Structure formats: C-alpha cells, structure tokens
Amino acid sequence: MTRAPAVAALAGSLVLAAFTVTAAPGSSGGSYTAQQAQSGRLDYYESCAECHGGKLEGVFGPALAGGDDNLQYQSVKGVYVYMSTHMPHGDPTDLPREKYLAIMAFLMQSHGMPAGAHPLDEKRVMQDATLMGNGR
C-alpha cells in the first residue's frame, strides 16, 4: 500500500513537469515566418525608416532595436497595439493589417525572436505577452 501514494506523487510530478516544459499559449516561439519578416522589412523601410532609421537606430522617432531601444521591455502585443493605432505618425492606421503584421514580424526578428512555420496573425499577436527583449 505504501507504493500507491509514491506512484501517485510521481504521476503528479510528471504532469506538472509537462505543463512547465510546454510553451505557454501566446508565447512568441515561432509565431511569424521568415518570409513575413522579409516582407515586413520592406514595409518598414517604406513606412517607418524615415523616423526610426534604416537600421532601427532612431532618427526623429525612438530606436526600435539595438539594446537601448524603446521596445525591449514592451510585450509583442503592446508593441503591435501601439504601432497599429498610432503609426505612422501623422496618419495612424493608414496601413493595411497585413503590413502592420509583417512589420511586427520584422521587429520580432530584429529582436532575435525565432521564425516558425506559421505567419503572425492578429489572434497570435494579441495573445503574445512575451517581452521583445527576451529574444536576445
């Protein structure tokens, strides 16, 4: 009879370990594709680089990558929501959703977050509380 509690405790530990190892819903583990990030790079240069710099270093607007950037302590969701409702400056919400998502994928890639098999979509980005600086 003493083995039953030990087996139950071991089984409970294994279940807990499985939940610990599995990525939490909404984490950025591979939530964009490399192709989407490449498209976002082009969209960034077209719509954002004038203020944020060709290397995301900041010009008139703040830096968006590089260690001292404005995004490293922001969540993926927070950056996307701000970007898609306030940028480009002077004409917010001017871009189609696909371009905002592609630019977000480029920013995630620029912060060292890995690409995956599925493109970033609004559902994924709105669930992603990962800090942008976690990719470094």
pLDDT of res. 136: 58
Distance CA 48, CA 56 (A): 9
pLDDT grade for 90, boundaries at 50, 70 and 90: confident
- Please, what is the average pLDDT of the chain? 81
Contact 117, 33 (CB under 8 A): yes
pLDDT digits 0-9 by tens, 91-124: 887 899 999 999 999 999 999 999 999 999 999 9
Of 133, 135, 134, 99, nearest in space to 119 by CA: 99
Task: Tell me the CATH class for 28-135.
Answer: mainly alpha
